[in-house]
Structure 1
Amino acid sequence: MPAYVPFVPLPLDQEDVRYEYGPDSARRPGVLRGFTVELCWDSTVYPGTTRKVWIHVPAAYNPAEPAGLVLFQDGWWYLDPDGDVRGGIVLDNLVHHGDIPVTIGVFVDPGVFESIEDPTGRTNRSAEYDAFDGRYGAFLLEEIIPEVRRRFAVSDDPERWGIVGGSSGGNCALTVAWHHPDRFRRVAGFLSSFTQLPGGNNYPALIHTTLRKPLRIFMQAGHRDLRWNEPDHNWLAENLRVAAALTEAGYDLRLVLGDGGHSPNHAGVLLPDALRWLWRTPQG
């Protein structure tokens, strides 16, 4: 059976575009709300940093049945029920309707140095998200996830573990899964900032020369993302290069190309379908 897509005219202006949300991005009648636990966390992997972490548990969670796990970077931006992404609401809706298995969402803010007064120097976001190494993944695996598992039953199956992020959080999500494919198998990256990787974007070359990893990857790129018409440090072009390399290497990839600039709006609209696609059965 073909999948029919309703006709929607393309906007002539590609700069100032805002996508309308679907029903799974709002509270739906009859869907029980999950609950959220807020933590303050002082890191040892990133000494001197502190951050907030939110653990969102859908109402269908049963301690006798270990849940899946999905990690969101830029925690509150992705959890805020009045924000652009509304991750907790989306999880409640998808789990309630059986679109994805029972999955706990962990929303992790980037670290800050509270001892530094200058706001520009307080955040550790770029050092954590834009680095191309296994350190941030180790932080999640050694510090955050054990705390989640201390409180809730979580499956050991890496096919039920995912990681999501946008902008620098998007390339961070892929980097975590790239270095830890034994734990993270589902990846969603929205408007990823591959241009900000130290030394440039080495993913296209790496993907071609590395044995394919067991990852399923959802990507979103924007026609008018940062420096979209510049010859270097072009967010759109680098996302397309990564997507092309993944396709050529035979990865299970879905790329959505939209209009608009470096905004989380389209990511929020896509999140329900992205999670459905990432957690679909293999034959789906």
Structure 2
Amino acid sequence: MRTIMIGGLLCCAATSAAGQTVYPLTAASRADPSVRHGTLKGPFEFHSRIFPGTVRRYWVYVPAGYSPARPPNLLVFQDGQRATNPDGSLRVQNALDNLISKKEIPPTLGLFVTPGNLSQRYPDNLGMSNPDHRVEEYDDLDDDYVRMLTDELMPEVAKRWRFSSDPRRRVIGGTSSGAIAAFTAAWHRPQAFGNVISFIGSYTSIGYRAATATTPLVPGGDLYPGMIRKSPIRPIRIFLQDGSADLDNEHGNWFLANQQMVKALQWANTNADKQGDKGPRYDVRYVWGTGGHSDDHGGQILPDVLRWIWRGQMPAKR
């Protein structure tokens, strides 16, 4: 086991017998019987008008002590079946339990959403596998997915549980294609999401479709670095993580793509400073590891990422 400090985050990595990097979960992501536990409600099924013919599942994490009179922060996380898997790499509900109970982050409502599946009912045999409409929802660069969240699903959730309307108190996150979906949501609607968590983000050409005689070209996520450099800065706080052994295939090189994202965000800030722009700046932090296309590293650092995202929102300790 080796312990390293990266950008203020403490990361513990080990090497398996096969020579692969392993990132074990920290205590902050393990179930702790001594803390107050929130409740994970669901799964519920939801049919979207924006994505007709699809069905998705979602879960709602209700923090301990929840009161509608004090709407909590909001965390939306893609691939909800894996994010809430009690034996998985993320175990987001455990991190929320521990951090909220210890007053390290504010009370936070969690909304964990699967991609849509082209069926009337969500298949019970999918388990942790991807539903069949994931690429069309997560890897496209249009605003359909965020409209589904903000105009359909979130109002449905709000009928039972209130949450903050302040974008600074909302974060959207995910891993792989779920990460680019999170960034796309905040890119289109920063007034809805002011914070992004991106683990092993697929800023590659998965969503690209070539033009035909009857259909236009559909761009892929590899265009984002150029779009960031040539577009007005959004008021977004974003955390990115990736590993040097991530995928390299016909869609692109994941590690290079994530580095390009960081460089573009940093350049946009520097250029705005040079131009004397009085507008917002990207608040960026990143951690690179040596792992592959896995949620392990993201799961290990998730508690620290949540502390960083919500920094300044807790009362000063006396």
Same fold (TM over 0.5): yes
1:104-144 superposed Cα distances (whole Å, 9 cap, x missing partner): 00000111012699x99961000000000111000001111
C-alpha distance in structure 1 between counterparts of 2:240 and 2:193, whole Å? 16
Q: Assess, with a 3 A threshold, how the Cα gap between structure 1 residues 14 and 245 changes in structure 2: closer, same or farther.
A: farther
- Which residue is equivalent to 1:264? 295
- Which residue is equivalent to 1:32? 36
How far did residue 6 of structure 1 move?
7.2
C-alpha distance in structure 1 between counterparts of 2:112 and 2:80, whole Å? 4
RMSD: 2.7
C-alpha distance in structure 2 between counterparts of 1:278 and 1:178, whole Å? 17
C-alpha distance in structure 2 between counterparts of 1:137 and 1:32, whole Å? 32
- Which residue is equivalent to 2:157? 148
Give yes or no for contact 1:14–1:259 (8 Å, CA) kept in 2.
no
The answer to whether the aligner puts 1:277 opposite 2:286 as a matched pair is no
C-alpha distance in structure 2 between counterparts of 1:202 and 1:252, whole Å? 21
C-alpha distance in structure 1 between counterparts of 2:290 and 2:18, whole Å? 5
TM-score normalised according to structure 2 size: 0.81
Percent identity between the two aligned chains: 39
- Structure 2 counterpart SS, 1:151: coil
Map 1:213-228; keep pairs closer than 5 Å: 213-227=234-248
How far did residue 153 of structure 1 move?
1.8
Map 1:54-93; keep pairs closer than 5 Å: 54-93=59-98
- Structure 1 counterpart SS, 2:159: helix
One of 159, 162, 170 as aligned partner of 1:161: 170
The answer to whether the aligner puts 1:102 opposite 2:121 as a matched pair is no
One of 210, 216, 231 as aligned partner of 1:210: 231
How far did residue 208 of structure 1 move?
1.1
TM-score normalised according to structure 1 size: 0.90
Give yes or no for contact 1:14–1:223 (8 Å, CA) kept in 2.
no
Give yes or no for contact 1:51–1:109 (8 Å, CA) kept in 2.
yes
Tell me how many residue pairs correspond in the alignment.
Answer: 278
Structure 2 gaps, min length 5 = 1-6, 209-218, 270-281
How far did residue 11 of structure 1 move?
5.5
Worse-superposed segment, 35-44 or 104-113 = 35-44
Give yes or no for contact 1:60–1:95 (8 Å, CA) kept in 2.
no
Q: Assess, with a 3 A threshold, how the Cα gap between structure 1 residues 9 and 233 changes in structure 2: closer, same or farther.
A: closer
Q: Assess, with a 3 A threshold, how the Cα gap between structure 1 residues 248 and 80 changes in structure 2: closer, same or farther.
A: same
- Counterpart of 2:34 in structure 1: which amino acid? G
C-alpha distance in structure 1 between counterparts of 2:55 and 2:47, whole Å? 4
Q: Assess, with a 3 A threshold, how the Cα gap between structure 1 residues 121 and 28 changes in structure 2: closer, same or farther.
A: closer
